[in-house]
Amino acid sequence: MVNPVPPRDRTDQPWRSEGAPPPQPPKRKMPGGWRGLILTALIVYLVANLVLSLFNRGDEPTISYTEFSKQVAAGNVTKIYSKGDAIQGELKNKQALPNGDKADYTKFTTQRPAFADDDLWAQLTKQNVTVTAEPVVRERSFLANLLISLAPMLLLVVLWVFIARRMSSGMGGAGGMLGRKTPPKPVELEGGRRTTFADVAGIDEVEGELNDVVDFLKNPRAYREMGAKMPRGVLLAGPPGTGKTLLARAVAGEAGVPFFSASASGFIEMIVGVGASRVRELFAEARKVAPAIIFIDEIDTIGRVRGGGSGMGGHDEREQTLNQILTEMDGFTGSEGVIVLAATNRADVLDPALTRPGRFDRIVHVNPPDRGGREAILRIHTREIPLAKDVDLEHVARTTPGMTGAELANLANEAALLAVKREQKAVTRSDLSDALEKVQLGAERPLVMPADERRRTAYHESGHALLGMLQPGADPVRKITIVPRGRALGVTLSTPDSDKYAYTEDYLRGRIIGALGGMAAEQVVFGVVTTGAESDLEQVTNIARGMAGRWGMSALVGRLTAIPGDAQQAYGLSAAPATLDTVDAEMRRIVDECYEKAVRLLGEHRDQLDALAAALLENETLEEAEAYRAAGITRAERQD
509-556 residue pLDDT tens: 999 999 999 999 999 999 888 888 888 899 999 999 999 988 889 888
Least confident interval from 16-25, 83-92, 442-451, 503-512: 16-25
Residue 636 scores a pLDDT above 60: no
pLDDT at residue 178 greater than cutoff 60: no
Phi first, then psi, for residue 361 (nearest 5°) are -95, 5
**pLDDT digits over 17-65, tens only?**
565 555 555 555 555 556 666 776 677 666 666 666 655 555 577 777 7
Of residues 331, 432, 334, the one with CA closest to residue 381? 432
Would you say the pTM of this structure is higher than 0.85? no
Residue-level pLDDT at 412: 92
| 404-433 mean pLDDT | 90
| Fold assignment, 451-638 | Methane Monooxygenase Hydroxylase; Chain G, domain 1 (1.20.58)
Is 207 in the active site?
A: no
Burial zone of 240 (CB within 10 Å; 0-12 exposed, 13-18 middle, 19+ buried): exposed
Amino acid at 237: A
CATH of the domain spanning 57-139 = 3.30.720.210
Residue 314: per-residue pLDDT: 41
Q: Are 544 and 501 in contact (CB under 8 A)?
A: no
Statement: residue 172 has pLDDT above 50: no
List where CATH 1.10.8.60 sits in the chain. 371-441
pLDDT at residue number 501: 78
Residues 6+ apart with CB under 8 A from 492: 461, 464, 465, 468, 477, 479, 480, 481
Amino acid at residue number 196: T
What are the phi and psi torsion angles at 265 (to 5°)?
-65, -20
Judged on CB neighbours under 10 Å (0-12, 13-18, 19+), 115 is: exposed
Provide the angle, in degrees to the nearest 10, between the axes of the packed helices 517-526 and 606-619: 100
Q: Which long-range contacts (CB under 8 A, 24 or more apart) does 188-196 make?
A: 189/3, 189/6, 189/18, 190/3, 190/4, 191/3, 193/3, 194/3, 194/18, 194/19, 194/249, 194/252, 194/253, 194/259, 195/2, 195/3, 195/246, 195/249, 195/250, 195/252, 195/253, 196/250, 196/253, 196/254
Per-position b or e across 66-80, b if 16+ CB within 10 A of its CB: eebbebbeeebbbbb
Better pLDDT: 156 or 422: 422
Residue 486 zone, left/alpha/beta (φ > 0; ψ -120 to 50; rest) = left
pLDDT, greater one: 314 or 546: 546
DSSP string, 250-267: HHHHHHT--EEEEEGGGG
| Intervals of CATH 3.40.50.300 along the chain | 15-24+185-365
Q: Which CATH class name applies to 371-441?
A: mainly alpha
Is pLDDT of 574 > 60?
Answer: yes
Is the pLDDT score of 496 beyond 60? yes
H helix and E strand count, the chain: 22, 13
Topology (CATH) of 15-24+185-365: Rossmann fold (3.40.50)
pLDDT value, residue 146: 67
Q: How confident is the model at residue 2 (pLDDT cuts 50, 70, 90)?
A: very low
Which one from 18, 207, 317, 461 is the annotated catalytic residue? 461
- Three-state DSSP class for residue 458: helix
